[in-house]
A and B are shown apart, each in its own frame.
Chain A
């Protein structure tokens, strides 16, 4: 068997690795804009940031359809997620519980994902946005639940108009998608409740 056809391993210790990763994600989404680190040294399949792979391994299973860009879906990342999570990989963004997008890619838009319904806003998609970095870019000032006053973030590698899309998403509150920005072993949560004060 050729090595590129092999599915790389998931968690060596699923109970404690997923618990630690979940606490990082919980803090990330309850205190938006605070960068959280997941455990280092995880070998993610090609195309997924280690933090993205760890988040999906922690949260996704047969109950949660995942949307991936076509290139990832047909590559080792898709096979890896099917095997380890048992999750269905869907082609329609609006059907997904979790989605992985490239922050710099032009499609799909945040509005293409499921924002939930007015009676069940929890059924919305959680979008993992893989970007080039979580610091060093344009400064974006956030406010909202989980933020005392305001908080600055500066991710890089996001498409032009991304913050306008995010603001439009926040307008839908309590509907809307929740974002987790990921790069390397770091994640940064941007739930729908977060407002953008200004982009500099």
Chain B
């Protein structure tokens, strides 16, 4: 077995196998992944392992990434769209330390993109693998708490309860109020939780050229959507599925087509909207797009001007 020992000067630390997991665990996860790919949207139970961070912090996604990553891969990790938030930074560092992983923030360059709750704005390409961190893989759980029952509901494709829930939303509020983790039907068979991505991202899953893998570490489930697979957001003929829209573009890069986060800027009711996908926003600013609230740090003397 190849022992991973490239932590310089830390010879006393335990040496881990490449990508942290032992080979038997990887085989178990790999078998689950192959079955998940063969039955799109079906949740395959797997023996989720204790990881060196708490369950609920992306252990499902980390275990999938650890089982698939190799020396040729380039890994991008995003947390709510951003490359520079705590979860993303620590997971990236985890794979840099345990798997010598090459990491990147460029969506186009990455071969594996592990994500918490967003799909990048830049279109994904064939050959890329999306790895989603999933807190609750069971879309029916809030409607039916018993696993024995939800398993039967999936087995017999009894999804009336989900339609009733959406209908009750419409009856009470005039529209479906679910804005994230919006249930989808995969390959016309299984209803699947797309993980807590905003419903804005749901259409990107439909017929995506990239392979999409979902890992729920605490709930011990793996599921997948192969490339070019139909992913339909549940709706009604007279209340078709709609994604979020904003009245104003991104305050920094002026993008009108990206998912925007609302940022409170003062206690006077001031707020701005910025792209949640940090790489997308930066790329647009480098291309010269400027939003109305983009300050020029060098003009205000905060940093030295770029030569």
Chain A interface residue bracket vs B: 35 or more
**Cα–Cα, bound, A25→B26 (Å):** 14
Select the stretch in A26-34, A42-50, A102-110, A153-161 that faces chain B.
A26-34
Min CB–CB distance A11 → chain B (angstroms): 10
B27: A residues at CB distance < 8 A = 18, 58-61
Contact partner of A173 among B2, B67, B70, B189, CB < 8 A?
B189
The stretch among A65-73, A74-82, A88-96, A117-125 that forms the contact with chain B is A117-125
A196 at the interface (CB under 8 A from B): no
* One of B222-230, B240-248, B263-271, B282-290 at the interface: B222-230
Instruction: Type the 1/0 row for A160-176, where 1 means its CB is closer than 8 Å to any CB of B.
Output: 00000000000001100
A185 to B209 alpha-carbon distance, docked (Å): 26
B2, B31, B38: residue with the most chain A Cβ atoms closer than 10 Å: B38
Within 8 Å by CB of A126, from B26, B34, B230, lies B34
In the bound assembly, the distance between CA atoms of A147 and B209 in angstroms comes to: 9
- Specify which of A20, A31, A122 is in contact with B70 (CB 8 Å cutoff): A20
B2 touches A22 (CB 8 A): no
What residues of B have a CB within 8 angstroms of the CB of A192 in the complex? Answer: 38-39
Within residues 42 to 66 of chain B, which ones have a CB less than 8 A from any CB in chain A?
A: 42, 44-45
Residues of A with C-beta under 8 A to B2? 13-16
Say whether B39 contacts A146, CB under 8 Å. no
Secondary structure type dominating chain B contacts: mixed
Chain B contacts of A146 at CB under 8 A? 37, 226-229
The answer to whether B37 and A121 touch across the interface, beta carbons within 8 angstroms, is no
Pair B226/A119 contact, Cβ less than 8 Å: no
Question: Total contacts A to B, CB within 8 angstroms?
Answer: 116
Residues 218-255 of chain B: 1 if any A CB is under 8 Å from the residue's CB, otherwise 0? Answer: 00000011111110000000000000000000000000
Select one of A59, A148, A174 contacting B34, CB under 8 A: A59
28 contacts between A and B (CB under 8 A): A14-B2, A15-B17, A18-B23, A19-B68, A20-B70, A22-B67, A22-B68, A26-B68, A29-B38, A29-B226, A58-B30, A59-B34, A60-B27, A119-B151, A119-B155, A120-B45, A122-B32, A122-B39, A122-B44, A145-B187, A145-B225, A146-B228, A147-B228, A178-B35, A191-B39, A193-B39, A193-B40, A193-B187
> Which A residues contact B (CB, under 8 angstroms)?
13-16, 18-20, 22-23, 25-27, 29-31, 58-61, 63-64, 97, 118-122, 124, 126, 144-148, 173-174, 178, 191-193
Known: A22-B26, A61-B27, A145-B230. 7 other contacts (CB 8 A): A20-B70, A23-B68, A63-B28, A146-B227, A148-B207, A148-B227, A174-B42
